[in-house]
Structure 1
Amino acid sequence: MAEQSAGLPSQRQVIDLLAGEFARAGYDLEDVVVDAAARPPRVTVVADGDKGLDLDAIAELSRLASGILDDLDSQAYVLEVTSPGVDRPLTTDTHYRRAQGRLVELALADGSTLAGRLGELRGATVDVVVRDGPRRALSVREVPREDIVKAVVQVEFSSPSPRELELAGQTGKHSEP
């Protein structure tokens, strides 16, 4: 692989060098953004895992990435390892699986929106726990994935009820906002 002397590593270089190492550590490399226009230049590595990323995981991945990328002959840059954040749309089965039990807002193909707690992903459908009717009773709605135009996790400020988590398939687990 030809390195760019005095330049920044390319997105492809960073992905090629880090994806396997991140996977061995139990994390997925979701995205890499190389921003040469920033001062100082910045390489942002977005990672995720089944249990999310806490500060210890980010520190571990930062050390791992730094150790690998420091061997490149490139100009100085700031390396940032981060999680995708709640504003990232859910686009893959892995995203949906990791977000199970979280509050989501779905934009549907018919132009409507649906807010609820994400339940199980089963093949081509996803369960969403919603509050329906005048009494706002909890129910599970099956939504075909092909009907979902956009799905985004929402920020929560209060804990969901145990019944809501149970319907979302999170019995015995706790939801972290």
Structure 2
Amino acid sequence: MDNVVDIVSTLAQPIVDAHHFELVDVEFVREGKSWYLRLFIDKPGGITIDECALVSDELSEKLDNIDPDPIPQAYFLEVSSPGAERPLKKEADYERAVGHYVHLSFYQKVNGEKAFEGTLLSVTEDELVLKINLKGRMKDLTIPRKNVAKARLAIKF
């Protein structure tokens, strides 16, 4: 289904750009018996419901006018904010997250763990440095980028 994501990303980008929003992510997933096409958009200060509806209407019209239909199965279109725990996908996302609390999950264990939360201290092409609380002591942990399966902002409790 990567092809659907690529097609929709290509169609959505000019719509999002025209409104000075950011296209954070596009996913096409099956949940139960239903398919969902989800777009996550944002802008400085946050995105509103009306702005999500605007992008949804414009994208829906574009998708309806493509022949042959790039998405043959029935699906639900959802356009929303990425939320407080926004995923980190692009390089710019990682750079903006420096100094913020993040959650990282890994392909292989790092220091015996499959995930860590902490403050992102720095980002390079090859590694991330995270300040974590390890048994009551603060420690800087260097993590190879190739080992990061998922990254997102996190809420510190």
Residue 63 and residue 53 in structure 1: after superposition, are their counterparts in 2 closer, same or farther (change >3 A)? farther
For 1:153, the equivalent position in structure 2 comes to: 152
Secondary structure of the corresponding residue to residue 38 of structure 2: strand
Q: TM-score, normalised by structure 1?
A: 0.54
Query: What CA distance in whole angstroms lies between the structure 2 residues aligned with 1:108 and 1:47?
Result: 24
| Counterpart selection for 2:39 from 16, 41, 46 | 46
Residue 145 and residue 43 in structure 1: after superposition, are their counterparts in 2 closer, same or farther (change >3 A)? closer
Q: TM-score, normalised by structure 2?
A: 0.59
Matched-pair identity in %: 19
Shift of 1:70: 4.4
Q: Deviations over 1:96-144 (max 9, x none)?
A: 23544133134364552233122331332222121246xx343433333
For 1:161, the equivalent position in structure 2 comes to: none
Q: Where in structure 1 are there 5+ consecutive unaligned residues? A: 1-9, 159-177
Query: What CA distance in whole angstroms lies between the structure 1 residues aligned with 2:123 and 2:156?
Result: 25
Q: Please show how residues 75-154 of structure 1 align to structure 2 within 5 Å.
A: 78-84=76-82, 86=85, 90-100=88-98, 101-107=100-106, 109-111=108-110, 112-113=112-113, 114-132=116-134, 136-146=136-146, 148-153=147-152
Query: What CA distance in whole angstroms lies between the structure 2 residues aligned with 1:109 and 1:43?
Result: 30
Q: Where in structure 2 are there 5+ consecutive unaligned residues? A: none
Residue 119 and residue 18 in structure 1: after superposition, are their counterparts in 2 closer, same or farther (change >3 A)? same
Q: Contact 1:15 / 1:29 at 8 angstroms: preserved in 2?
A: no
RMSD in angstroms over aligned alpha carbons?
A: 3.8
For 1:55, the equivalent position in structure 2 comes to: 48
Q: What number of residue pairs does the alignment pair up? A: 141
